[in-house]
Amino acid sequence: MRSKQSVGAQANLKRTITLPQALGVAFHQVVGGGVVALMGVAIAMTGSGTPLAFVIAAVAVIIYSIPIATLASAMPVVGGRYTYGARVFSPTVGFVAMWFAVLVTIQLSLMALAGAAYAQSLWPSLPARPVAFVFMTVFFVANLFGAAFSSRVGILLGFIMLAAFGLYGVTGLGHVQWTHFSEFTPQGVGGLLSTAALLTFATTGAVAVSDLGGEMKRPGRDIPVSVVGATAFAAVLYVLVAIPSIGVLGPQAAANKTMTAVAEVILSPSGAAFFVIGGALCAVVGHINSLLLAATKPVLAAIDDGWLPAGLGAVNKRYGTPHWLLTVLYVVGVAPVLLGFSVEAVAGMASIATGPILAILVAASWRLRTRSPRQYAAAPFKLSRGVHLACTVTGGVVLVVQTYLLIGRLTPQANLAFALWALLGVGVWALRHKKVRHLAPSAGPRAERRPADAPVPQAEPPA
């Protein structure tokens, strides 16, 4: 049985997150890493085919996000990246997903460094790493005041960001030289698909909102709407800003450059400053905000099962936030900045770590359907068997391919850090696994261990 303290850790979390707040979290998880960090890289890889690559990437992401959304709708929980693997498969599978999820927190450094680079385009004398440290610290403090508070901050940032990217995209269309789009596959179909694979990973992020199921007012409706809606809307935004990013300067001139170079051409000085501050910087800090909001959840769930010391799961009574976990994950996230890790090293580690997590979630969605059909049937959002199987298989293939491509991009520094993190995880598992093995059934979710004629519980009325 779970300890009283661990049960209380999740029980004290408050159901305060609404659909607009969940959409804001999901949207920022996608936009922060896509437009701001990878536009120049994508242009360098496939030139004028970049808008099409974004579309292909978004479609692929939605394909494997849909089965994950059904899983979250059927089992709205806190810390889905741990809980689904632990309950649907085994505690060890859940631990693997949780351990990778902690590593993904180093995206904080990646986003903060990207934000610092954009800030330097306005104020060249700014030191990059101290600015990155400030970005992360501000939003760490904001999240200490509770999920609802930090989600409202994300909504405000989202409106500002949309205005800035809208200004960039709409104004830029009037300056596009359409001859730059004479060929959509300048590097061949292989180059286009390789770029789409990279951007598929970059556009993955909205599914992290499933970790907030225990804090949502209507998780069965809000999780699938947030995941699919935020990804599709972000794809439209990507295409809107990608067209002028290529068409104004041309693919060669825009390759490996930030969008600031185009903004300075198509906008007034004040407009360019608004784009950098309201668009790029808001995308970055919004991503930091939403990542901190969701990052503690899988670890909190793992603590409840005994994988880590129970004291780490203490929840602040006033704000309903796991303050010790936030602090630990903040340290993990900020460490690459303080230790001087390169952007490439941070991106490589975070990218590789996310693949197994998503693969576990996709597989868990199908296993839940086959092993716990009554629970799946009661979900507000579900798929036909054929569509579900097709999305699961296709999504699994996409994840395997993109992870394979990303492994080849790892730097030696990232390889070493990744290996050390994996070894540390093996050590933690060896010390703790005997204490938690009995907590979760390996034959299926705990929800199915009830009398055959008992009603299936629902967390909320169907949407």
Domain coverage including residue 249: 4-438
Closest CA to 111 of 280, 331, 296: 280
Q: Is 459 a domain residue?
A: no
216 strand-pairing partners: 17
**In the prediction, which pLDDT does 456 show?**
37
Give the integer Cα–Cα distance in Å for 388 and 252: 42
Q: Is 457 a domain residue?
A: no
**In the prediction, which pLDDT does 213 show?**
66
Q: What is the pLDDT of residues 265-313, one digit of tens each?
A: 999 999 999 999 888 888 887 777 777 777 888 888 898 888 998 888 8
**In the prediction, which pLDDT does 344 show?**
66
Residue 217 CA to chain centroid, in angstroms? 21
Least confident of 258-267, 333-342, 434-443: 434-443
Q: What is the 3-state secondary structure (H, E, C) of 234-277?
A: HHHHHHHHHHHHHHCCCHHHHCCCCCHHHHHHHCCHHHHHHHHH
Could you tell me the pLDDT band of residue 253, with boundaries at 50, 70 and 90? very high
Residue type at 400 in one-letter notation: V
17 strand-pairing partners: 216
Q: Is 448 a domain residue?
A: no
34 vs 164, higher pLDDT = 164
**In the prediction, which pLDDT does 267 show?**
95
Could you tell me the pLDDT band of residue 51, with boundaries at 50, 70 and 90? very high
Domain harbouring 225, CATH code: 1.20.1740.10
Tokens in use for 97?
Answer: 């997903």
Could you tell me the pLDDT band of residue 230, with boundaries at 50, 70 and 90? confident
**In the prediction, which pLDDT does 241 show?**
93
Give the integer Cα–Cα distance in Å for 395 and 369: 16
Could you tell me the pLDDT band of residue 147, with boundaries at 50, 70 and 90? low
Q: Is 126 a domain residue?
A: yes
The residue assigned the tokens 């699961």 is 392
Q: Which DSSP string corresponds to 39-70?
A: HHHHHHHHGGGHHHHHHHHHHHHHHHHHHHHH
**In the prediction, which pLDDT does 288 show?**
78
Residue 447 has pLDDT above 70, yes or no: no
Tokens in use for 303?
Answer: 């603590």
Contact 413, 345 (CB under 8 A): yes
Tell me the three state secondary structure of residue 336. helix
Give the integer Cα–Cα distance in Å for 169 and 279: 11
Give the integer Cα–Cα distance in Å for 248 and 250: 6
Q: What is the mean predicted confidence (pLDDT) over 64-91?
A: 86
Residue 403 has pLDDT above 90, yes or no: no
Q: Is 461 a domain residue?
A: no
For the chain, the domain total comes to 1
Could you tell me the pLDDT band of residue 380, with boundaries at 50, 70 and 90? confident
